[in-house]
């Protein structure tokens, strides 16, 4: 049985191999230096940022608890089990507050069927990813929803106990909209879709 013959690269590849070896060494050294310099900076930043992030989370929990207590006193904090009774008058609308693009906040229910009100009534067939959802008219409507439905002092909406995903799963027939305020003075509203 003959052993396999080892094939060498062609003659013109040898100069390339010789030239590429120092380049590879320089690139590897640069990466190693970058890791040694940037790694500790990232670690130091993370250690400094951890307490601030934790405090911000704690402040959000305290604000949520304060809001819940205030709305409970007004009779505007309800469990999902109370919704069928309230929906006998109107199926209403869910509004999901969004604190950031990656995080849903609280879920509210209002007796008003917002999907039948302008400008949402004309947006039923428009896909969510359409630029039509970024109009100034819809931004003004979202601001109005924030003020008339979700305002803790004067709003008409009920804060619903539980996670938005779970509540929406229990009431799939009720229209639901994401009410986003990711930047100061910038409001957006989008339909909730699966």
Between 183 and 118, the more confident residue is 118
pLDDT value of residue 57: 86
**DSSP code for 9:** P
Strands (E), 9-117: 77-78, 93-100, 103-110
Distance from C-alpha of 96 to C-alpha of 120, rounded to nearest angstrom: 16
Between 82 and 136, the more confident residue is 82
Q: What are the b/e assignments for 105-141, b being 16+ CB within 10 Å?
A: bbbbbbebebbeeeebeebeeeeeeeeebeeeebbeb
3-state helix, strand, coil in the chain (%, to 5): 55, 20, 30
Q: pLDDT per residue over 125-153, tens digit each? A: 888 888 888 888 999 999 999 999 999 99
pLDDT value of residue 3: 66
Cα 44 to the center of its chain, rounded Å: 27
């Amino acid at each position: 049985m003959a052993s396999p013959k080892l094939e060498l690269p062609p003659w013109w590849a040898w100069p390339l191999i010789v030239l590429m070896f120092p380049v590879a060494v320089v690139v590897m050294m640069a990466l190693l230096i970058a890791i040694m310099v940037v790694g500790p900076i990232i670690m130091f930043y993370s250690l400094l940022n951890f307490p601030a992030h934790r405090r911000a989370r704690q402040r959000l929990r305290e604000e949520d608890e304060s809001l819940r207590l205030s709305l409970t006193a007004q009779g505007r904090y309800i469990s999902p089990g109370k919704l069928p009774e309230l929906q006998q008058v109107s199926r209403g609308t869910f509004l999901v507050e969004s604190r950031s693009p990656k995080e849903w906040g609280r879920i509210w229910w209002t007796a008003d069927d917002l999907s039948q009100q302008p400008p949402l009534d004309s947006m039923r067939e428009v896909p969510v990813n359409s630029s039509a959802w970024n109009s100034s008219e819809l931004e003004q409507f979202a601001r109005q929803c924030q003020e008339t439905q979700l305002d803790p002092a004067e709003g008409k909406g009920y804060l619903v106990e539980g996670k938005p995903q779970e509540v929406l799963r229990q009431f799939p027939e009720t229209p639901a909209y994401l009410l986003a305020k990711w930047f100061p003075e910038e409001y957006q509203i989008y339909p909730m879709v699966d």
